A and B are shown apart, each in its own frame.
Chain A
């Protein structure tokens, strides 16, 4: 093989194991020794050394980021409970847990599951809706603004690149940060201060999302010092696609058209660098540079080209750049690409850099030759650069050419299926959880605990972030992130609803988006964390009017280093919960993503993140008129608590504030919870519910307070009327086992606070028959929030304005 001066041959045929490993490390290939040896053998058979282009191509294609080797690899899992060990071998963890559940549920309304750039479900007879959530953690740690902006840009391209292209309707963002008020001296060397990360990340999302004209309508922020060196940035986008544009297939002879941004040196090694841990030496040039206006122009034009049927397939350039995008499209046919034809931002790039650069805003199309002029014309008309850089062949080989020289020639089979399956060990010990010592407090202490709960970083208003996002653009956000009865006061909505009336003429349907996340629970039990996240995402969607039978979910795992058996063990345990809950709630997973190696090395000390599983939910709402918000509506209306309150304080906000040890992590009781969700849907559809809010962080106390202050109203709650159960003795019901403060702040899953007009009470009770629920109070006009237990001689009283201010004033004007 002939090489130009710009292309080097990498001598590997005669390297020792040690030298192979050194080569992988030096060139940021993130390949294991075993993988390097397989590459060496492949080229031994070809009787030549590889070029740098070939080695880089293999490294990108085989990276954890692109291939998800750990989650699809072999895992020997050992679980220990009270000294007893059980063993299980997974040949492909995802296949045997999450995919399996979706396969078994086999919902006819799931149109594309785990095979394209996003999952797609049915919206109506003509259209599907696609949803994808991505992570951009490593880049955001190094360069918060650029990292988050390109994270948003990247997930939007996933939606443009699903099927033959979907039109984005809304975005979601979820972040995990360290405490923004952290003393600077406690921030590890080489790490940005959490406040700088938060500001940068929020600005990046704002500038990209707002310029794209896609409303960011739902999200969450979790603060924990465990995320100080490795913040988590999840970006999600939902879009709409005609059902007849979902299938795509490249044919031999189609041309490779690269459209949008030019290629530069930004984002070299993004895929491989995010497949390893960060340290003080991590290279900032691995972070891409975003330009939303170029992406907007691609969006404007490609939908026109799509509707004229001018191309046969499309995908976005994400991690691994052209190498990954063209490689993926040409997997079954083979492809030849002329790297010198790729439009560049500036000269001087080596061929391998052109091939793996993760420069942004690029899409790759497979275009039949007869359409090439027309499609280029459509792009050109609106100043979008579109250049033909090669073609799809029928030789099942990847061939790369530069200035007439062949720089790479490898079989697609080796490239895509040659990666060895790693075998890893995983271990998890189930620890016994115990109920904490009884918590007893005076009325005054309970009142001040409520104030500190509302002011807690993980509960408080995220208005500062929400209002910087244009969450109203496109005019379709009818259930908003902040909800009030007028435009001045507002509280935290459970989920957002998009009414896509500009995209689908004359529709009455809506799309609900929500999420569930609670890393605090995962510190004690990852199974319950995953189960709770799933239940919470469903609960949030149901609270605004969604039908749990029409909801699909996405998984996003952010974990530490999987070569640590205990880290991997907790991941296995979380995937088990995903399988079990998906089956129990009959809610299918349609797409997902994992980001591993979220750890940081400095001075030989390892900082690893608290494992986080984000569950994002998308569902179809039959009639947008049948949706509700969370503020109380009218004085005199009755308040009900649906679901049962158990003594569950493990990982709770209250335990954190009051430094309470132990406690049981909230469990999920799917039968109980699904039953209530279905009944709420019936009640909302029958117009019987005025306001609905789910109980999550901070329990009933926080949920009720939020419903009151967002309406500028008062409320009276009779604590003794709330139904409670002991979590250990499941069947023994007794209201006396929990103290008033425990009833108010326990974070049991599966509960809703609901406001009902007295006139509707009979019908409402009829629907709820057979479920655990109780009437607990009423909405009042004195603007005071009151919780009373006559049995315990407790009366907590606080003005809703004071509560509103404590909720509002934690994060302001950063």
Chain B
């Protein structure tokens, strides 16, 4: 069987690259952590990989705004290649800072537009917060989302979050209507039973409690929570998981690896 190749794009301040690598490896993929300076030297190398990953961290210290500098750098130096890669339908994931980068370069919510039309701003709580939250997987609302990353998950899962800028907002009202209409909202913060959460289960004040979205086609996925930190049951505060061994985060990576292998 062909080994799926994953590219984890890193730069100064990236810091979730190793655990993201481990998560993909656990799902049978071969992973390379590549510095942006290296990729810029040989831009076409990006097409050698089946999955593209923007991991969490504080790229360039989150100076200006979270993920802003890296998103500009990518647009300026790798814009053509990244857009082409995205439109090819190959899986792309942006986790936490990676989600901020995807949104700020405009790869989400619409890679064809490739323009920033929403942002992730400062948490309503006013500070960086690290804790576990419940997420409602939105496949049961209307028709199932086309997101290839979130299949085979139960209605509610828990994952850790750790961010200071996770409030998903947009100037345009239509924006959220479109997202809803196209089933692009895949994760919402929720209570344990999928209902309205209260602080601290949602600390950022995100519009419509959005935690993660995908593009219309479903190959590009961005989320604030950290699925790579919950691939083993051991990582859960109460050691919960499935098959008495794994965490629900693993399913997300497995979905993409399986999809790329089809």
Interface residues, chain A, CB within 8 Å of chain B? Answer: 206, 210-213, 291-293, 296-297, 300, 381-383, 466-478, 480, 482-488, 490, 499, 501-503, 624-625
Contacts and interface: CB of A to CB of B under 8 A. Distances in A.
A473 B160 CA distance: 10
Interface in B6-22: 10, 12-16, 18-19, 21-22
B38 A472 contact: no
Given A292-B61, A383-B37, A475 B201 contact: no
A211 B58 contact: yes
A564 B160 CA distance: 50
Interface in B218-262: 226, 228-232, 234-235, 237-238
Nearest to A490: B237
A484 B238 contact: yes
Given A474-B18, A501-B22, A501-B232, 7 more contacts: A297-B12, A300-B10, A475-B19, A475-B229, A477-B235, A486-B192, A502-B22
A490 B56 CA distance: 26
A293 B58 contact: yes
A474 B55 CA distance: 12
A487 B132 contact: yes
A70 B131 CA distance: 44
A211 B61 contact: yes
Rank and list the top 9 A-B pairs by shortest CB-CB distance, nearest first. Answer: A213-B15, A487-B132, A475-B19, A475-B229, A470-B162, A293-B61, A502-B18, A211-B58, A502-B22
A545 B13 CA distance: 34
6 contacts: A210-B58, A467-B200, A474-B18, A475-B230, A485-B237, A485-B238
A470 B128 contact: yes
B35 A382 contact: yes
A409 B192 CA distance: 70
Contacts of B132: 487
Nearest to A291: B61
A612 to B, nearest CB: 28
A472 B238 contact: no
Contacts of A213: 14-16, 57-58
The range of chain B's interface size is 35 or more
A483 B234 contact: no
Contacts of A206: 128
A130 to B, nearest CB: 18
A292 B22 CA distance: 25
Given A382-B35, A478-B234, A210 B128 contact: yes
A670 B162 CA distance: 41
Contacts of B192: 486, 488
Q: Please indicate which of the listed interface residues B12, B15, B21, B22 has the most CB atoms of chain A within 10 Å of its own CB.
A: B15
B134 A487 contact: yes
B233 to A, nearest CB: 10
Contact of B226 (A472, A499, A624): A472
Contact of A381 (B10, B38, B231): B38
Contacts of A300: 10, 12
A467 B12 contact: no
A485 B19 CA distance: 24
A52 B57 CA distance: 44
Contacts of A485: 237-238
A293 B162 contact: no
Given A382-B37, A487-B158, A471 B130 contact: yes
Given A468-B130, A474-B19, A625 B13 contact: no
Nearest to A627: B234
Contacts of A476: 19
A606 B36 CA distance: 55
B238 A296 contact: no
A487 B134 CA distance: 8
A477 B162 CA distance: 14
A382 B12 contact: yes
Nearest to A211: B58
Contacts of A484: 237-238
Contact of B15 (A212, A478, A499): A212
A211 B12 contact: no
A383 B35 CA distance: 11
A473 B12 contact: no
Contact of B237 (A210, A473, A487, A624): A487
Contacts of B234: 478, 499, 624-625
B58 to A, nearest CB: 4
Nearest to A167: B18
A293 B13 contact: yes
A467 B132 CA distance: 10
A297 B229 CA distance: 23
A206 B10 CA distance: 22
Interface of A: prevailing SS = loop
B101 interface: no
Given A478-B234, A486-B237, A502-B19, A468 B128 contact: yes
A182 B39 CA distance: 55
B60 interface: yes
A708 B226 CA distance: 30
A377 to B, nearest CB: 12
Q: Please indicate which of the listed interface residues A212, A475, A487, A625 has the most CB atoms of chain B within 10 Å of its own CB.
A: A475
Interface string B100-133: 0000000000000000000000000001111111
B235 A473 contact: no
A813 B74 CA distance: 37
Contact of A486 (B37, B56, B160, B238): B238
Interface in B176-197: 192
Given A213-B57, A467-B131, A296 B18 contact: no
Q: Please indicate which of the listed interface residues A293, A484, A625 has the most CB atoms of chain B within 10 Å of its own CB.
A: A293
A170 to B, nearest CB: 13
A466 B234 CA distance: 20
Given A210-B128, A213-B57, A624-B234, A473 B15 contact: yes
B27 to A, nearest CB: 15
A478 B228 CA distance: 14
B22 A475 contact: yes
B133 to A, nearest CB: 7
A472 B229 contact: yes
Contacts of B133: 487
Contacts of A503: 18
Contact of B35 (A291, A381, A482): A381
A291 B63 CA distance: 11
Given A382-B37, A488-B192, A468 B229 contact: no
A381 B37 contact: yes
Interface string B20-51: 01100000000000010110000000000000
A488 B22 contact: no
A478 B231 CA distance: 12
B237 A296 contact: no
Nearest to B198: A488
B162 A472 contact: yes
Contact of B162 (A473, A499, A502): A473
A488 B240 CA distance: 14
A279 B261 CA distance: 67
A296 B15 contact: yes
A467 B130 contact: yes
A472 B158 CA distance: 14
B130 A472 contact: yes
B181 to A, nearest CB: 32
Q: Please indicate which of the listed interface residues A211, A470, A625 has the most CB atoms of chain B within 10 Å of its own CB.
A: A470
B25 to A, nearest CB: 9
A206 B127 CA distance: 10
A621 to B, nearest CB: 12
Nearest to A206: B128
A289 to B, nearest CB: 13
Nearest to B131: A467
Nearest to B58: A211
A503 B19 CA distance: 9
B61 to A, nearest CB: 4
B98 to A, nearest CB: 14
Contacts of A483: 237
Contact of B12 (A383, A469, A480, A486): A383
B236 to A, nearest CB: 8
